[in-house]
Amino acid sequence: MVVPGLLWLLFFNLVPLFGIIIAFEDYVPGLGPWRSEFNGLENFEYLFSMADAKRVIVNTIVIACSKVVLNLVVPLLFALLLNEVKNLRYKKFIQTAVYLPHFLSWVILASVILNIFGLDGIVNKIGGLFGAEPVIWFSESSYFRQLVIGTDVWKEFGFNAVIFLAALTGIDPNLYEAASIDGCGKFRSVFYITLPGIMPTIVLVGVLGLSNVLNAGFDQVFNLYNPMVYSTGDILDTWVYRIGLVNLQFSLATTAGLFKSLISFVMIVLSYTAAYKFADYKVF
């Protein structure tokens, strides 16, 4: 029964791993990976001496870490607020609406978002009411990171809230009743009942988020950025794509990709171990 799965795994997940050796050689496509000349760690030295590399790594970490934090906090707040909506049909409607962007691709959303934040988009129209100058938002390097982070949080907050909403239903309603009889207000019961009740879930989501510290979101940035915002918006994945598949510097791009894979590998192992330790959650 495992044969089809194993074959798929072997040919499309494992075989490409051997291609990693080109990170350690001066790869010439005509010769192929086996006959190109090895040059040890030269590619790594060259990579880290590039000014671009530092910029890209900083951008990646800033964007990815902000996303990790906000994609935990915002969905949590949203779930807590939605939990206070007592009208079930209204609640259902809100849920249906906010899950939707998760299922739309960044290609689609980017094209709409670029319009909305474009020169005659609705954002500039609202700004115009307050006398602000129109701006092409996604071409301003000082706004780009915030916009990327913001639009990602907007796209995913509903979907990320699913797990918190499920955890909230697991809290015993009697606790709230008891607290209310003892004179505990709404706000305090959130702090003393709700939050401790879903703490394991919060820890779990937070810890698993650790594995994403280098995933700034290729699909999103690739569809939203342009050369004017490379200084703040270019991330590892988009950079690897450009040096590798556009400029055809295969070895350098593989080296950068391997660097990312190695760090991600460490972070994933750490986060899974932590998830098991702190939240008693087994990923496998």
Partner 1 sequence: MVQRKTLGTRIFTVFLYLLMALLALSCLYPIWYAFCLSFSDKTAANSGMVTFFPVGFTTVSYSEIMGDWKFFHSFWISILRSVLGTIVSLLVMITMGYALSKPKRLFKARNIIMWIVMFCMVFNSGVIPWYITMVNYRAIDTIWGLVLCGGLPVFNLLLVMNFFRNLPQNLEEAALVDGAGPWRILFSIVVPCSVPMLATIILFTSVGYWNEFFQGMVLSSSDAHYPLQTYIQQMVVNTQTNMLNPDELKLMSQLSNKSLDAAKIFIAMIPMLVVYPFLQKYFVTGIMLGAVKE
Phi, psi of 121 (to 5 degrees): -80, 175
Tokens 């071409």 belong to 139
Residue closer to partner 1 by CB (options 57, 98) is: 98
- Running DSSP on this structure, what letter comes out for residue 2? -
Residue closer to partner 1 by CB (options 146, 223) is: 223
Residue 250 Cβ vs partner 1, minimum distance, rounded to whole Å: 5
Q: Say which amino acid occupies 144.
A: F
Q: Are 198 and 167 in contact (CB under 8 A)?
A: yes
Residue closer to partner 1 by CB (options 69, 163) is: 163
How far apart, in whole angstroms, are the C-alpha atoms of residue 240 and residue 250?
9
Residue 186 Cβ vs partner 1, minimum distance, rounded to whole Å: 7
Give the total residue count for the chain.
284
Residue closer to partner 1 by CB (options 40, 227) is: 227
Residue closer to partner 1 by CB (options 72, 94) is: 94
Residue closer to partner 1 by CB (options 65, 123) is: 123
Q: Are 153 and 73 in contact (CB under 8 A)?
A: no
Residue 196 Cβ vs partner 1, minimum distance, rounded to whole Å: 19
How far apart, in whole angstroms, are the C-alpha atoms of residue 205 and residue 164?
9
How far apart, in whole angstroms, are the C-alpha atoms of residue 210 and residue 24?
28
Residue 222 Cβ vs partner 1, minimum distance, rounded to whole Å: 8
- b/e per residue, 84-113, with b = 16+ CB within 10 A? eeeeeeeeeebbeebbebeeeebeebbeeb
Burial of 80 (C-beta count, 10 Å sphere; 0-12/13-18/19+): middle
Residue 167 Cβ vs partner 1, minimum distance, rounded to whole Å: 9
Residue 65 Cβ vs partner 1, minimum distance, rounded to whole Å: 20
Residue 232 Cβ vs partner 1, minimum distance, rounded to whole Å: 15
Q: Say which amino acid occupies 71.
A: N
Residue closer to partner 1 by CB (options 145, 260) is: 260
